[in-house]
Amino acid sequence: MVQNKLIEKFFEKYYKNHADDIVSPIRIEKREFGFMFFSKHIMHRHISFKNSLELRDYVRRTIPAHAYYSSAYYVNPSAPTMDEKGWEGADLVFDIDVDHIETPCKEDHDLWKCLECGASGKGMSPSKCPKCGSEKIERDTWICELCIEAAKEEALKVCDVLLDELGFSSKDLYLVFSGHRGFHIHVEEEDVIGIDQDARREIVDYLLGIGLDLTTLGYFKRKIVLDIDLREEGWRGRVARGLYDILLNCDEKLLRKLGLRSRDIKYILSNRERIISEIERVPSNWLSLSSISAKSLERLVNHAVKLAACKVDERVTIDVKRLIRLPGTLHGKTGFKVLKLSYNELESFSINDAFVFDMNVNVVVQSQRFPKRVANYGFSKRKGIVEVPLPIGIYLIGNSKEVKILKIV
Amino acid sequence: MRRADGSGSRPITFYDLVKYPFIKEALDYFRSKNLTLDDLESDVGRKILNRSYERIHEAISQRKVTTDLSEDPEIEVLSFPISLLLLSILENRSLIYRYAVAESKRVGELLKNEDLDKLIWIAKNTFKWRVNLVEEELGDERRPLVIIHFIDYISHIPQSSKEWKLINKRLVKGYVFIGKGELARMLEEAVKKYIIRKCSERVMISDLPNIIVAFIERISREWSQYVREIESLRIIPKDVIGDIYPPCIKKLLEDLKSGKNLPHAARFALATFLLNIGMSVEEVIELFKATPDFNERIARYQVEHLAGLRGSRIKYSPYKCSNMRSLGLCVDLNGKLCKGIHHPLQYYFRIIGGKRSGAKQAH
């Protein structure tokens, strides 16, 4: 609680001078807002504001730990039930979260522990305990610059599909750094606002690669191995390029992991040059892959599909009544700023763009365990007492109960 | 690619208004007549009302609407919006759905035989779709192709099946490539949605002419009698479904009951599931009576086949979850409700098992 009070103090100071940074969503009077506070663990929902002045004043007065607004537009956004609210439409939102992306840096900063049998490990947490199968897993997870880079890559991939394949223009969409583990992509184009959940599911399935029928790739149809050109647009082209990348860069270890037959692995590795040059032809020729078994080819294609898929959280896109982070506010677990970015700004984004507290102020923190690296900061010691810059200190105490700030230097 | 869009000369004749009384031109015609409610009590008005009633009556009793060309074509055109008026006064959701399916089926059958130009004209002018005819050059040959904006496409997918999934379509810069048959089928879906939307609009009429009241009472009586008959056949109590069936099967049952037309794979999944949890062939057939194109002879043959009573004598199992997923039939893709479930039957037996052991503990 004391540590919470400390964060609240910093937030208060910040909002006093920077509440005007809060981005007022378009048609603010039709949006529902929700807030969580440092003192209580419940969400205050069904709040609405007439204009941005009211919203900023509210934040300045109440110092929320977390601030959200609805991607939906309502007739009566502050009504307590959905029926009374009167849904009119919703922005199209995609959520990219490092939780869903495998990154090697997780080994450096993440731990998991099974609360049933006590098994534990480093790195990406399993969804259930590999030892006893329990789903009660305690996780100690952090983000570092590498995580943010991975999430950025994924966000750019989603943007490319939205622009090149779905035909949106870059001015119809913007991105938001969520203040913690990823990015949101918002599309506010007039045409998408009214579409229903089924249509949104169709879009998200398109991104995730769900329901892809291999025969549309010309997969083993009429004695042709595959009927796709490397330069083709859309999903087919992405799968072709994924397959090309696999064949170009694979080693025995990867092919074994994918479950290819030994004979096929040997064939691919010893004929790689020829296979690659044939695929590079215009149009691509996949004929030399006809020597490998159907099963092996299918496994290769499936892996290419996995590479071509965008790892978005489908629930966020399909749920048209969800609350989402409000740009310009602070994230209560990290102290980072929820930052609105244009498509062109994403490329150059780095985590310190979201720091709002003074880098030149240091704090002394104590913990039984420090990760190797969090945000852009590497720890020299793995436990005990260290001095860190203020933004890192706030992140440490916000994200872990184990860490205490002892004093501000 | 060369664009040859449907903005050329108007391919719509008066005969088209009779066949497609929902199109913009037909509604303009209806409006130009300036009909008032009192006009419906005149001789012509009675004829219109009577034909409006027939449309709904046929949808209730036969699950279809027939285009009537024997009568005055003008009455045929004007009776459609009046049917919608009657239904919106009645405010019965399932009747509206029943009528929308029947009327749109009629339209779908006719649209199949139309020229592409006419389909594109209707899509553009009535439904405001961004759709165009393009020609793709394949060597010396020119092939006509339809492109439609993906938002219009995903908002009018008629059924969840692999073939219709956006991901299996050629999609370039926001436009989906489709064939003529698909465009016709999507227009059918759009007509269904249009009817449902129109009939769900509240109408405020303070003083209904007696003749309208009489027709409304007649329709209402027919529908409630039909509902009573169906309900006596209903086997599964509504409150039980929510508990024991996996979400995919629940969705299919709901779709079935609301009169939606399920694609083949969906019917297979549902029928095999129900047979495998011990429902009889008769009971399954009864449920399928709700489908718009129900044919008892064919249905019986198919269900008996699935139950292993015919042909190979193999009792079929429902698809496992991964197949349901690829077929677009899974509704819990993130595994929120179906944690650790690999097969729809597993879900059912787990819940049933859990209930049984729970009951034991209670005693």
Interchain pair A206, B166: CB under 8 A:
yes
Query: By the 8 A CB rule, do A296 and A256 touch?
Result: no
CA distance A133 to A126: 10
Q: Which residues lie below 8 Å from residue B278, measured CB to CB, with a gap of 6+?
A: none
Residue of A nearest to B335 (CA): A315
Annotated active-site residue A110? The verdict is no
Q: What is the pLDDT of residue B152?
A: 97
- Residue A212 tokens read as 């892809």
Say which range, A16-30, A114-128, A357-371, has the weakest mean pLDDT: A114-128
Average confidence (pLDDT) over A358-375: 92
Contact A315 B336 (CB under 8 A): yes
- Phi, psi (rounded to 5 degrees) for A338: -75, 115
pLDDT at residue A233 is higher than 60: yes
Within 13 Å, how many C-alpha atoms sit on residue B1's CB side?
15
Residue A185 in contact with residue A94, Cβ under 8 Å?
Answer: yes
**Minimal CA separation from B201 to chain A, in Å:** 15
Q: Which of A21, A91, A95, A108 is catalytic?
A: A95
- The whole-angstrom separation of Cα B363 and Cα B359 is 7
Measure the CA–CA gap between B217 and A121, rounded to whole angstroms.
71
pLDDT at position B289 is 82
Give which of B1, B166, B175 to mutate to test A binding, by max A Cβ within 10 Å. Answer: B166
Smallest CA–CA distance from B326 into chain A, residue: A211
Residue A316 Cα, gap to closest chain B Cα (Å)? 11
- Structural contact between residues A65 and A336, judged by C-beta atoms closer than 8 angstroms: no
Q: Give percent of chain A with pLDDT exceeding 90.
A: 68
Q: Do B168 and A314 touch (CB under 8 A)?
A: no
Instruction: With beta carbons less than 8 A apart as the criterion, state whether A207 and B164 touch.
Output: no
Q: Is A97 a catalytic residue?
A: yes
Mean of per-residue pLDDT scores for chain A: 91
Element (H, E) at B148: strand B141-149
Residue B30 has a pLDDT of 94
Nearest to A293 by CA among A274, A265, A273, A269: A265
pLDDT tens-digit profile of A150-199? 999 999 999 999 999 999 999 999 999 999 999 999 998 889 999 988 89
**Cross-chain Cβ contact A202/B168 below 8 Å:** no
Distance CA A251, CA B227 (A): 65
Q: How far apart, in whole angstroms, are the C-alpha atoms of residue B166 and residue A207? A: 10
Of the candidates A155, A121, A159, A153, the residue with the CA atom closest to the CA atom of residue A140? A121
Q: Inter-chain contact B326–A213, Cβ cutoff 8 Å? A: yes
| Of A135, A139, A136, nearest in space to A123 by CA | A139
**A206 and chain B: CB distance < 8 Å anywhere?**
yes
Tell me the C-alpha distance between B74 and B249, whole Å. Answer: 45
- The pLDDT score that the predictor gives to residue A134 is 82
Give chain A's length.
409
CA distance readout (Å), A182 to A374, B196, B239: 14, 41, 41
The CA-based angle A96-A102-A108, given to 5 degrees, is 110
What pLDDT, on the 0 to 100 scale, is given for residue A224?
A: 64
- In this predicted structure, which of A232-246, A292-306, B13-27, B277-291 has the lowest mean pLDDT? B277-291
* Burial of A20 per CB tally in 10 Å (0-12, 13-18, 19+): exposed
Give the one of B151, B162, B167 whose C-beta lies nearest to A191's C-beta. Answer: B151
- Which of A66, A65, A52 is closest to A19 using CA atoms? A52
Give the least confident one: A66-80, A393-407, B85-99, B259-273. Answer: B259-273
Residue among B82, B27, B21, B89 nearest B54 (CA): B82
Distance, in angstroms, between B258 CA and closest chain A CA?
17
The reply to whether residue A196 touches residue B155, judged by beta carbons under 8 angstroms, is yes
The pLDDT assigned to B355 comes to 46
Shortest Cα distance, chain B CAs vs residue A250, angstroms: 27
Find, among A227, A100, A96, the residue nearest to A162 by Cα. A96
Q: Per-residue pLDDT for chain B (363 aa), expressed as one digit of tens each?
A: 444 454 567 889 999 999 999 999 999 999 999 888 888 889 999 999 999 999 999 999 988 999 877 778 999 999 999 999 999 999 888 899 899 999 999 999 999 999 999 999 999 999 999 999 988 877 778 888 899 999 999 999 987 778 899 999 989 999 999 999 999 999 999 999 999 999 998 888 878 888 999 999 999 999 988 887 766 654 554 444 556 789 999 889 888 877 777 888 899 999 999 888 878 888 888 888 877 778 888 888 888 888 877 766 677 888 888 778 877 888 887 777 888 788 898 888 777 655 443 333 333
Range with top average pLDDT, A7-21, A98-112, B277-291:
A7-21
A95 carries an active-site annotation: yes
Helix then strand then coil, % of chain B, to nearest 5: 60, 5, 35
Instruction: Find the residue in B nearest to A190 (Cα).
Output: B151
CB A35 within 8 A of CB A66: yes
- Shortest Cα distance from B319 to chain A (angstroms)? 15
**Tens digit of each residue's pLDDT (9 = 90 or more) over A326-345:** 999 999 999 999 999 999 99
CA A79 to chain centroid: 31
Contact B166 A202 (CB under 8 A): yes
Query: Using a CB-CB distance cutoff of 8 angstroms, which residues of chain A are in contact with residue B325?
Result: 210-211
Judged by CB atoms closer than 8 Å, whether chains meet at A205 and B166 is answered as yes
- Say what the pLDDT of residue B236 is: 52
Structure tokens at A335: 């102290």
